[in-house]
């Protein structure tokens, strides 16, 4: 008989999850803030201050544009943007109409965009100007879209920014015949006041592409209720109060960055300092100026701030809660103690375990009983079990096995992938493909992956995806990729390549790396390439990446 785990739960934390404004889509939360507290601050972007009333007005105007373009319940619209106010406006304008937001990493290149346009019924794209030439080429290869909206990140900047805006994100305006400009739409449209009624727990509001356990990225369909539940559960478990000042620098296109930088401010109604990208100096200045109290970071961000020579002279005492994710740099007791000293008491701890299929944040770390090295305990209404990989039997505390998760954040399935859905989602349980164990208090310890996904600087890289892109190189006949350790990024990609016979004397590893850098997202392209004569494979032709790792 399996020994049951006795889950720890803090005495001071409410036993039940209570939604701040009831069970309704997050866009309705935004509408309530905008109508009831229109002059209260919502977002700060390099000195530009946007109130809830202004944000709601922008959302309603952009919704009017989208409605006129045919966006309705179930319509898929992609966001191909860095962090910016336009991202937040577009996200909720799409969902106001009952549409489905598809986040695309702004580092994607042409062939990656082609793949997503082929996979999902995307009707339109909102993109930064830097991405317009790539979108135009991708559209020409696949199909026309109903609309393409372009924007520049400095369109929302004040005349005088409070701190230096990154020069690498100042782009000349780019467009083509079918393109319209974001700010022109906001100036010309009138607010769309109607509201689409959605089925909170059944209608899809977000589609995040992920590999699941194997294969190229698949569209994980997440409901409006999934987003509400995970945002509310994380906020309540982590003690988010009604007087917090938030800060967001993690990518909004990533599920964790979305929860913390987009959903949480809208759910709580608290103001958020938004950065296009992380910079240690501007982050410190923002904490000091706006008395930031609540931040979700990646551990290397904390480490880089600690390296600032004069950091001990800065006043970071307003910061009270810092959830962090270990990537490259681990959230250790030593790092947490250094952070506590510099901030005069802020607790630094592991944010959560989670995955796209569960809208992330399946665990949280109790502040008064932190266990470094663990991912914390299951959040509200969440069950986590460890099962034997071969028998499926539940394992007792301390025993290793596959992590499976069940809660109201679980996705509806993969778009057009019934077999993959059936393999991952079984009787309401997500079979994660991750290896871990639970201790006697119910703390989860992540120990590795069954699946061959590569994690680099927090990004998920799917071997089949990189291989498919590599095989577009005219000299490559076959390829296989694996993750190799990296002291900063955690892992980076190494590619094993079989060249076509006619190309063996013409192309070398450096040529392939250079080509990959030009044709893949920056986090994805291989840092190492090894040219070999033949890939190890089973009799059926399946590549044995395990043997490549062992060599």
Smallest CA-to-CA distance from 414 within 497, 357, 334, 498 is with 357
pLDDT at 468: 82
Per-residue pLDDT at 387 exceeds 90: yes
Read off the pLDDT of residues 67-100 as tens digits, 9 standing for 90 and up: 999 999 999 999 999 999 999 999 999 999 999 9
- pLDDT score for 167: 86
Is pLDDT of 213 > 60? no
Question: Residue 479: which H helix or E strand, with range?
Answer: strand 476-486
**Cβ distance 234 to 251 under 8 Å?**
no
Indicate the length of the chain as a whole number: 551
DSSP bridge partners of 425? 430
So what's the pLDDT on residue 524? 92
Structure-token pair, residue 144:
């026309």
This prediction has a pTM of 0.86
Sign of CA dihedral 250, 252, 258, 264: positive
User: Mean pLDDT, to the nearest integer, of 27-51?
Assistant: 97
Contact indicator for 315, 289 with CB cutoff of 8 Å: no
Please name every residue paired with 495 in a beta bridge, in sequence order, or none if there are none.
Answer: 481, 529
Q: What is the pLDDT of residue 540?
A: 42
Q: State pLDDT tens for residues 496-538.
A: 998 988 888 899 999 999 999 999 999 999 999 999 988 886 5
Alpha helices in 381-539 (DSSP H): 418-424, 463-470, 509-519
Please name every residue paired with 323 in a beta bridge, in sequence order, or none if there are none.
296, 349
Q: What is the pLDDT of residues 53-67, one digit of tens each?
A: 999 999 999 999 999
CA distances from 154 to 166, 182, 273, 276, 445 (A): 10, 12, 16, 10, 42
Separation CA 148–CA 389 (nearest Å): 46
Cβ(489)–Cβ(456) under 8 Å?
yes
- Between 546 and 143, the more confident residue is 143
Is the Cβ–Cβ distance between 500 and 250 less than 8 Å?
no
CA pair distance 152, 129, nearest whole angstrom: 6
Q: What is the DSSP letter of 169?
A: G
CA distance 414 to 169: 34
> Where is average pLDDT lowest: 266-280, 421-435, 447-461?
447-461
Q: How far apart (Å, rounded) are the C-alpha atoms in residues 372 and 188? A: 53
Q: Is the dihedral of CA 321, 325, 328, 334 positive or negative?
A: positive
**pLDDT tens-digit map of 330-341:** 788 999 999 999
How does pLDDT run across 143-176, given as a tens digit for each residue?
Answer: 999 999 999 999 999 888 877 888 888 888 888 8
* Residue linked to tokens 């689409």: 196
Helices (DSSP H) in 238-327: which residue ranges?
255-258, 264-268, 280-290, 299-306
CB atoms under 10 Å from CB of 243, counted, come to: 6
Identify the structural domains of the chain with CATH numbers, from first to last: 51-198 (3.40.50.980), 375-449 (2.30.38.10), 454-550 (3.30.300.30)
Is-contact 397 440, C-beta < 8 A? yes
Share of the chain above pLDDT 70, in %: 95
Cα three-residue angle 414-436-379, rounded to 5 degrees: 70
Least confident piece of the model among 392-401, 447-456, 468-477: 447-456
Q: What's the mean pLDDT when you consider all of the chain?
A: 92
Distance, in Å, from the CA atom of 222 to the CA atom of 356, rounded to the nearest integer, reads 9
Give 314: exposed, middle or buried? Use CB within 10 Å, 0-12, 13-18, 19+.
Answer: middle
Which residues, in sequence order, are CB contacts of 140 under 8 Å at separation 6+? none
Give the Cα separation of 409 and 225 in Å (integer): 7
Phi-psi region at 435: left, alpha or beta (left = phi > 0; alpha = psi -120 to 50): beta
Band (424; pLDDT cuts 50, 70, 90): very high
Mean pLDDT of the 113-142 span: 96
Give the pLDDT score at 3: 62
Task: Count Cβ neighbours within 10 Å for each residue of 505-533 and write b for 16 or more, e otherwise.
Answer: eebeeeebbebbeebbbebbbbbebebee
Residue 542: pLDDT above 60? no
- Which phi-psi region, left, alpha or beta, contains residue 155 (left: φ > 0; alpha: ψ -120 to 50)? alpha
Whole-angstrom distance, CA of residue 284 vs CA of residue 109: 32
């Amino acid at each position: 008989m399996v020994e049951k785990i006795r889950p720890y739960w803090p005495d001071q934390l409410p036993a039940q999850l209570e939604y701040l404004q009831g069970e309704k889509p997050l866009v309705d939360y935004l509408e309530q803030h905008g109508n009831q507290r229109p002059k209260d601050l919502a977002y700060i972007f390099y000195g530009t201050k946007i109130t809830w009333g202004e944000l709601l007005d922008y959302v309603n105007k952009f919704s009017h544009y989208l409605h006129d373009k045919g966006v309705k319940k179930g319509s898929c619209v992609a966001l191909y943007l860095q962090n910016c106010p336009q991202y937040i406006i577009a996200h909720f304008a799409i969902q106001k109409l009952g549409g489905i937001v598809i986040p695309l990493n702004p580092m994607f290149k042409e062939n990656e965009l082609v793949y997503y346009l082929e996979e999902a019924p995307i009707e339109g794209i909102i993109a930064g100007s830097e991405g317009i030439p790539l979108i135009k080429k991708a559209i020409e290869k696949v199909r026309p879209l109903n609309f393409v909206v372009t924007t520049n990140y400095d369109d929302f900047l004040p005349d005088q920014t409070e701190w230096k805006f990154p020069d690498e994100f100042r782009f000349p305006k780019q467009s083509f015949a079918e393109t319209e400009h974001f700010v022109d739409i906001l100036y010309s449209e009138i607010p769309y006041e109607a509201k689409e009624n959605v089925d909170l727990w059944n209608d899809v509001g977000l589609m995040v592409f992920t590999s699941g356990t194997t294969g190229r990225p698949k569209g994980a369909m997440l409901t409006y209720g999934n987003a509400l539940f995970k945002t509310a559960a994380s906020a309540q478990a982590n003690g988010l109060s009604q007087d917090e000042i938030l800060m967001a620098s993690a990518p909004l296109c990533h599920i964790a960055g979305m929860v913390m930088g987009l959903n949480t401010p809208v759910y709580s109604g608290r103001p958020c300092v938004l950065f296009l990208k992380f910079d240690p100096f501007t982050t410190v200045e923002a904490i000091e100026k706006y008395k930031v109290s609540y931040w979700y970071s990646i551990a290397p961000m904390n480490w880089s701030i600690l390296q600032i020579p004069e950091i001990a002279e800065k006043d970071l005492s307003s910061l009270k809660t810092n959830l962090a994710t270990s990537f490259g740099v681990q959230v250790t007791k030593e790092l947490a103690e250094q952070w506590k000293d510099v901030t005069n008491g802020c607790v630094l701890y592991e944010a959560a375990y989670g995955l796209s299929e569960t809208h992330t944040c399946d665990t949280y770390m109790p502040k008064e009983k932190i266990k470094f090295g663990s991912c914390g305990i299951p959040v509200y209404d969440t069950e986590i079990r460890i099962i034997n990989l071969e028998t499926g039997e539940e394992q007792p505390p301390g025993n290793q096995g596959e992590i499976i998760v069940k809660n109201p954040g679980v996705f509806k399935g993969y778009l057009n992938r019934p077999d993959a859905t059936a393999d991952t989602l079984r009787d309401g349980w997500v079979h994660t493909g991750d290896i871990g164990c639970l201790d006697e208090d119910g703390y989860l310890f992540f120990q590795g992956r069954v699946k061959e996904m590569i994690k680099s600087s927090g990004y998920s890289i799917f071997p089949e995806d990189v291989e498919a892109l590599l095989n577009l190189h005219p000299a490559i006949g076959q390829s296989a990729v694996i993750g190799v350790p990296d002291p900063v990024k955690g892992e980076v990609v190494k590619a094993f390549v079989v060249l076509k016979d006619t190309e063996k004397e013409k192309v070398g590893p450096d040529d392939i790396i250079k080509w990959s850098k030009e044709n893949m997202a920056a986090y994805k392209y291989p840092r190492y390439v090894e040219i070999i004569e033949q890939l190890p494979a089973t009799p059926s032709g399946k590549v044995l990446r395990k043997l490549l790792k062992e060599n």
